[in-house]
Chain A
């Protein structure tokens, strides 16, 4: 296996864009990324698309060649990967293997989702398809309710509080307010976050990520060729994917995600790093409780301490382990199929020192954790200065 680098990154802002359809969003992100890498479309040898539910949201299927051809890449292999909210993380992992194996030198990964074209109850229903439709979904579970049940048990077992959950939301909104590409650039108070209307108890509106349109893309390249295309290539130090049962009720302990621990262990091993070596992270805060559980499963804090650590300010931009300096899914937005690659773009931006007001002091080793469903897929990626 040979080393792989990222030589280009780009994304659309996240939000509601009635004038941009799914393909237009993906093409904008792809073109920005080619420009960022100084590459012509003809240089790309394989195209990997991450998309969760394009056919359900927009009726369009066969999405990978539909998009790659519009980017000027007709002819090359073009394939869509679906792994719920970890769809583009999964696409990124396959793209990495394509280059690491020596089959390709230069490949592109795009993640995209177009969600705001459907009303909220329909969006909730489409997202439910990432759960077990024959059991938990049939009984009336929605995605907020699955994470609400995780939150309830975490509170019961570890003393995590309602205030801890809201501390995640307040911190991510404070970060997102500084991100020009974020969907909800709004600072919120702890009081607002704690008293919002309930969605699935104990989770309220401010515990939930947003319904968004958006796309993100990266170009991967064999590390020994990276300087041909970029002055500031970013090295993929480790990347791994793991899986678990889709249904929450099949997991022996829902306060921890086996897939996160599994992917993290392999990614740390590949990178030759330990949790303490990670300087900052983009975690999958689809709900506030998910960020708390993730930081525990990744080994940043002891089990059960995630909420306390957040409330103490440990994950703020000036804290010992900055998490979601981008604003996270909570404030930046969560076009589900775009999220995995968007997290990678956020790491690249920090490592290249291009994060503006959100720039972190320690930014040479970052980790992204992309979660699918209620923990059935996880992709963990560790990037560093090349």
Chain B
């Protein structure tokens, strides 16, 4: 699974209809350990800039990441 650190994030409170059931949800841009950046959904604990995160699952084409215990980034 991919891992990286949070470059920036937000918690969305107003969403289009297809995401309305998920509100509030967190979106982040993650700087991947292997290079590049990707916009992902965060699940579990909320994250902040510079937090280590790891990919937890891919559901319907959306990447979900969660806070990682590892500091090995």
Binding site for B on A (CB under 8 A): 120-122, 124-125, 128, 135-136, 138-142, 144-145, 148-150, 152-153, 156, 197-203, 247-250, 254
Contacts and interface: CB of A to CB of B under 8 A. Distances in A.
A153 B8 contact: yes
Contact of A135 (B9, B14, B20, B38): B38
A138 B60 CA distance: 10
A153 B11 contact: no
A122 B15 CA distance: 9
B13 A200 contact: yes
Nearest to A203: B10
Contacts of A125: 16-18
A140 B25 contact: yes
Nearest to A254: B8
Nearest to A150: B8
Nearest to A126: B16
A124 B16 contact: yes
Contact of A249 (B9, B13, B16, B29): B29
B61 interface: yes
Contacts of A200: 10-14
Contacts of A135: 38-39
Given A128-B16, A144-B14, A254-B7, 7 more contacts: A139-B27, A140-B19, A145-B10, A152-B8, A200-B10, A249-B37, A250-B37
Contact of A152 (B9, B25, B61, B63): B9
B13 A199 contact: yes
A142 to B, nearest CB: 6
The 10 closest A-B pairs by CB, nearest first: A148-B10, A125-B16, A136-B39, A149-B8, A153-B8, A201-B11, A249-B37, A139-B39, A200-B10, A121-B17
A152 B10 contact: yes
B37 A142 contact: no
Q: Among B18, B22, B39, B40, which residue has the most Cβ atoms of chain A within 10 A?
A: B39
Contact of B13 (A139, A198, A254): A198
Contacts of A150: 8
B67 interface: no
Contacts of A141: 12, 27, 39
A247 B15 contact: no
Contact of A198 (B11, B27, B38, B40): B11
B2 to A, nearest CB: 14
A148 to B, nearest CB: 4
Contacts of B66: none
A198 B16 CA distance: 15
